[in-house]
Structure formats: structure tokens, C-alpha cells
Amino acid sequence: MTADTEPDGELLLRVLLTRVVEPGDEVGGRWLREYGVREVARRLRDGGEPLPGVSGTRWSGLRARAARAEPHRDLAVARAAGVRFVAPGDTEWPAQLDDLGDARPVGLWLRGRPSLRIWALRSVAVVGARACTGYGAHMAATLAAGLTERGWVVVSGGAYGIDGAAHRGALGAGGATVAVLACGVDRPYPRGHAELITRIAEQGLVVGELPPGDHPTPSRFILRNRVIAALTRGTVVVEAAHRSGSLVTARAAQRLGRFTMGVPGPATSGLSAGVHELLRGEGVLVTDAADVVELVGDMGELAPARRGPVLPRDLLEPGARQVLAALPARRPAQPREIASDAQTTPDEVIARLYELRALGYVERHGDGWKLTRQAVMSVRSGRAAR
């Protein structure tokens, strides 16, 4: 969706507000809820009556930000970088983000082909220490690979250490992963992960609240964690000291009613002290992907014996229908084989397969993918109807 197709221009105004309202600002979120996007933007730009809850100095600062904002330019820069903007109410907006209440993002900038809404349906956060040990990196990568092999999407923050290991584990297994950044999604951070984040954008999704070119700050890293917690079914912490930002993600997940899990480490390791503290509270001890899936699946998203009706194929997007049609009826197929038959790229195929997995059409078998029984029956009945 673009500002040109938005009948009342609300999307364009939300783009403007991403330059004005800081991520997680509950005062700004309350303004949007009580007054609406158009009225908030009007007062900020046109000098209307100040909105309540901020000092005169703060209001002047927000108005100065609004005066400098160039939403049309931000959208143009985003399009040139292959970035799109989605807002609450859009078809791609993940409804679980609404659980954040007034701390809900004004909107999200996305880089990558898959649907964030579909991918978030079966997602797990894997987070932890930046200065991790070899043990922690191994556990994060193994856990992420195991989750993607079971059809789950791995979400993390793109940082050094555990985050990077989790992303690499998912990518290495040919799986799906999402990086939630504390800066503009066109500006990979940390710079040492530029190649990794580019790869995530090609095979998965890079997500952020801040507009193109915006830079990270310490507070933005902390506030970014609430989005990771809200997007996912549960959060796994792999190595974290007592004051680790990863524990902020875990506590946010607890407040939102999500599952909180921890991978235990050596009793003598300070990098596992925060995880052990989490496990003494409401956190659940996990040691592999099977443990995680067993727990998170209790929410109804893990359904090997799923009996619900398969959605009609005609409701799928053309790209997803093309990939679905390329799958053999009776055996698993590799993404490269499917890509050849679907006349597209392996990265596009992987993105579409995870969407189809969330909708119950396909399932993963080792390194291959095959149609579910419901999908085969749907295909047969569709052919009979024709």
C-alpha cells in the first residue's frame, strides 16, 4: 500500500509520525488512540492546541521534528531500497502487535518479500548476549536450525553474538528468519553484520520502526525488544548476564502473556546468570527445538494432527499459488527443484513455503517440502470440480 492508494492519506501521515514519535512512546500512542492520526499530525504541523501529557519544551521539540519531516521523500527512498511501509489495519499488519496497547508501533518498515503477518503466526524469538561464548553460539544456531526444520520462523535482533548465531543457524538450514532492527532497515547495523542482514532481506525479512536512514541509540535498542516479544509466540534466551537487554525481551514477553524460555548454561558462567534467574521465576527450561515447539505448540499453533479446513487456493497470492502448483503430489522436493518448476528463485520459494506452511498447505521433511494431506485433498477436489 502506498500513500497514493490511501483514500484519506493516513498512511502518509503515519510515515511522517515515524519521524516525530519515538518507538514505544506511550504518550504519542495515547494521542493516536484518542485523537486519531489526522488530528495529531495536524496539530504537530499546523500549530494547533498542544496535545496533553508533555511539557511546552517537549511539544516545541516534537513540532520541530514534524516541520523537518518529508514523508513523500521517505517513501521514495524506501521504494528505491526495496522497502515498504505497513500500518495498523493493513492486510500485512500482525494483529498481535496490538497487544502492546499505546506502545504499539506507529507503523513498520519492511525489507524482504514474505508477508510479516503470515510469518509471525508461527514464530519464536531467539535472543541473548552479544559477547557470547562458543557454547552459546552453538546452542543458538542449533536451536534456530531445529526450529526452522519444524516449520517455525526465527526472530531476533540482528546483533552480534546470540542474535547473529540464531539468524545464521536458520539461514544455514534453508529456513525463515526475521531481523528486527533499532534503526532504518536500509542501514544495516551493526556494520559488521551488513552481509548477514542483506542475506536475511533476501531470504527472509528485515523489520524496523524507524524511517530510512535513521540511526540507533541505546534507548531504541531496548524499545525494539518489545516488538520482538510481541511478534512471536515465545522468547528463548540463550546466555544473558543479570543486566542483559535480552532479559528485557523476556520480561516483555511475560507481560504480554507469551511463553518465556531459557537455555541453561554452566553454573559458574556469568553470561548464564541472567538465564538462570529467569528459570527460577516463570521461565521454562529448554534444551533443543523439540522442547520449544512442544511448549509453544500448546497455544494451538503446533498442529501435526490439524483438522481445520484448508483455505481455497484461489485466495492465495499468485506467487504462492505458483509455488504450491510446483510441489510434487507424493514426495518431498528441494527448494531449488521447486524454484525451477515455478520459474522463480530459491529465496522466493523459501519465503512462499513458510507462508504456505503457516496456512496449512505444506510441511517440511528434512531438507525438503511436501504437500500436506489436506492440501492434496484440496487439489484433487479442485480438479474434480473443474
pLDDT in tens, 92-113: 999 999 999 999 999 999 999 9
Angle (CA) 313-317-318 rounded to 5° is 90
Q: How many domains does the chain have?
A: 3
Q: Is the pLDDT of residue 303 over 60?
A: no
The per-residue pLDDT for range 32-82, each reduced to its tens digit, is 999 999 999 999 998 778 999 999 999 999 999 999 999 999 999 999 999
Q: What is the mean pLDDT of residues 212-232?
A: 93
Q: What is the pLDDT of residues 132-185, one digit of tens each?
A: 999 999 999 999 999 999 999 999 999 999 999 999 999 999 999 999 999 999
359 shares a domain with 227:
no
Residues 238 and 214 reside in one and the same domain: yes
pLDDT at 300 over 50: no
- Is 60 exceeded by the pLDDT of residue 313? no
81 in a domain, yes or no? Answer: no
DSSP state at residue 311: P
Check residue 376 and give its pLDDT. 65
How buried is 147 (Cβ within 10 angstroms: 0-12 exposed, 13-18 middle, 19+ buried)? Answer: buried
Query: Above 60 in pLDDT, residue 298?
Result: no
Whether the Cβ atoms of residue 121 and residue 358 lie closer than 8 Å to each other = yes
Q: What angle do CA 169, 173, 179 make, to 5 degrees?
A: 50
Q: What is the pLDDT of residue 314?
A: 56
Q: Identify which of 249, 286, 238 has the alpha carbon closest to the alpha carbon of residue 140.
A: 238
Mean pLDDT value across the chain:
88
Supply the pLDDT for residue 306.
38
HEC readout, 17-62: HCCCCCCCCHHHHHHHHHHCHHHHHHHHHHCCCCCCCCCHHHHHHH
Residues 116 and 208 in one domain: yes
Express each pLDDT in 230-260 by its tens digit. Answer: 999 999 999 999 888 899 999 999 999 999 9
* Secondary structure of residue 159 in the 3-state scheme: coil
Average pLDDT over every residue of 15-36 = 96
Q: What is the CATH number of the domain that holds 358?
A: 1.10.10.10
Q: Is residue 308 part of a domain?
A: no
Q: With beta carbons less than 8 A apart as the criterion, state whether 273 and 296 touch.
A: no
- Mark 112-145 as b/e (b = at least 16 C-beta within 10 Å): bbbbbbbbbbbbbbbbbbbebbebbbebbbbbbb
Domain coverage including residue 8: 3-71
**pTM over 0.75, yes/no:** yes
Query: Percentage of residues in the chain with pLDDT exceeding 90?
Result: 69
Looking at the structure, do residues 131 and 253 belong to the same domain, yes or no?
A: yes
